[in-house]
Amino acid sequence: MSAATQMRQDQPRGERRPEPTLEEAFVLAFRHHPAGVAVMTADSGDGPVAITVSSLISVSRSPPMVAFSLSDASSSARALGRAESVVIHFIGPSDIALAQLCAASAADKFGGRFAWQRLASGEPCYEQVRLRFRAAIRDRLQLPGATLVTAELLESSLSEASDAYAAGEAVIYANRRWHRLSIGTLPEGWWLDDPVTF
């Protein structure tokens, strides 16, 4: 007998399951809310750090600004939060192993498994990720359990990455799994010239 069948038999007939708490509903909603994947690297003076985030959002187009959250529970996130600048790596299908490494809390992220270098401005970056931005931290908002960070994009590697992004493939994270997304063409009726979400 399966566990699910046993639970149904143990539950009195007519008795409704308790409503999920607000926190349980929040976790369920965002576990099934697909998000893009990025790797952040920085050096606040104690050596290079890297983390994988799925909280990166665009804030404005001019100047180009982004925002992301950093958990207080992560030592790498706390170190990255002290930096004055970061490198934002947009993860493609060929970079999933790197994203998984940078998501692991105790892993050696600069131990040689993936080639990295320092930019002329000093920030560490992974060479294999072709679309990267160097960004300056503009503001930090301390919240319970996390810090919300805004950053202004200063430089990009788009010229060398444009051919890779013409293929229309991306990586998303949903329900604790990595998914390869083939963007392809949009369904008929979608608004292609949207000045708000660009």
Integer Rg of the chain from CA: 20
In this predicted structure, what is the pLDDT of residue 3? 44
SS (H, E, C) 3-45: HHHHHHHHCCCCCCCCCCCHHHHHHHHHHCCCEECEEEEEECC
In this predicted structure, what is the pLDDT of residue 2? 46
Q: Which residue has the higher pLDDT, 164 or 91?
A: 91
Tokens 């997304």 belong to residue: 181
In this predicted structure, what is the pLDDT of residue 38? 95
Q: Which CATH number fits domain 34-182: 2.170.190.11, 2.60.40.180, 2.102.10.10, 2.30.110.10?
A: 2.30.110.10
Whether pTM > 0.95 for this model: the answer is: no
